[in-house]
Amino acid sequence: MNYSKAFVRFNWITLVLIYLVVVAGSFVRITGSGMGCPDWPKCFGQWVPPTNADGLPVDYKESYSEGREKKVEKFSKFLNSLGMEETAEKLQSDPDLLKEEDFNARKTWTEYINRLFGFLAGNAMLLAFFWMLLKYRKRKLLLIAGFNLVLMAVQAWFGSIVVATNLVPWTITVHMLLALVIIGLQIYLIRSISPAMKGYLKLPKWTLYLLWFCFAITIYQMFLGTQVRESIDELTKMGYGREDWTEQLGMPFYIHRSFSWLVLILLTVIAWMNERGEKLLMIRALYVVLALELISGVLLAYANMPGLVQTAHLIFATILFGILTMGVIRGKTSPQIA
């Protein structure tokens, strides 16, 4: 089936919007703006949040604290139904969950912009789904697009849980992993509808195997990176300085660092094989993005350059994930060069 250029381009735009949600979410994290809007989906009870404290609801701290308590209670019941009684008990017994922050216009609008990107991405996915339903009606792709749309709704709902639980660390990790699944499915859709992406990349057997291995390690790396970032946040709250982080972080940090160099070695081998053979642009792009991601990681860990470097590190990691996803989807062993 042939899909229109407009439809293909719109799905690429949708992917960009999904990436922008990830970027905006990271910026929210580094600026500490996650609680800039204490309620969801509105912000301080309004679709457009206030710019100063005069526009706040009366007794907003008490009312939102009560609302959060009810939401945490419901979520705890859900966790209990999944057999996660210990996690549910920790949530319900944590007194910090019910503490409201003072109003900060910068943080509020930072979080609000993040939600706007999420709104745009979700509606773009909805429009793409109906576009496919009305014009193309290909069952397999409709199921994938529909499932991804449901995941986006779950992601939005879970975002409210992240807010309700006052940014409990493990919820942020789940939030990130859901984003990766959504990105991966959107890339699969683009590969299925785009004429430029429909063909297979004929690769030597070991190149394809190494790509899959790098893909698996990258997913684990992003999981570990989120864990390390959460641990650093906790250490900072406890008063530890940057010079003490490495010692306190322990094994997850060392695994994260070591696996980064392992991916570099593997992609160096893949790049060398690529230059001897097909000279694929995708492999070259992988290598460049990985180099940028490693540089940002070194700056983040050792050069006392947090903030935007953290966002850059996540951007390069998610782009690397996206290219690897397209690579493993399109990769196919060529009998001639296996």
Q: Which of 168-172, 201-205, 241-245 has the lowest mean pLDDT?
A: 241-245
pLDDT beyond 60 at 265? yes
182-205 pLDDT, tens digit each: 999 999 999 989 888 777 777 778
128-168 pLDDT, tens digit each: 999 999 988 888 899 999 999 999 998 888 877 776 666 56
The residues, ordered by sequence, that sit 6+ positions from 65 with a Cβ below 8 Å of its Cβ are: 98, 99, 100
> Which among 92-106, 167-181, 232-246, 295-309 has the top mean pLDDT?
167-181
Question: Span 85-109, mean pLDDT?
Answer: 75
Report the alpha-carbon distance of residue 113 to residue 27 in Å, rounded: 10
DSSP state of 46: B
Backbone angles phi, psi at 38, to 5 degrees: -75, -10
Question: Span 58-69, mean pLDDT?
Answer: 72
CA 82 to centroid of chain Cα atoms:
24
Stretch (H or E) spanning 65: helix 60-81
Q: Which of 69-78, 94-103, 217-226, 310-319 has the lowest mean pLDDT?
A: 94-103
The reported pLDDT for the residue numbered 336 is 47
The reported pLDDT for the residue numbered 64 is 72
**104's torsion region: left (phi>0), alpha (psi -120 to 50) or beta?**
beta
Q: Which of 207-216, 284-293, 303-312 has the lowest mean pLDDT?
A: 303-312
Give just the sign of the alpha carbon dihedral 250, 252, 253, 259: positive
Computed over every residue of the chain, the mean pLDDT equals 80
The reported pLDDT for the residue numbered 182 is 95
The reported pLDDT for the residue numbered 127 is 95
Q: What angle do helix axes 105-135 and 5-30 make, rounded to 10 degrees?
A: 160
- Of the chain, the percentage scoring pLDDT greater than 70 comes to 84
pLDDT beyond 60 at 78? yes
pLDDT beyond 80 at 333? no
The reported pLDDT for the residue numbered 239 is 67
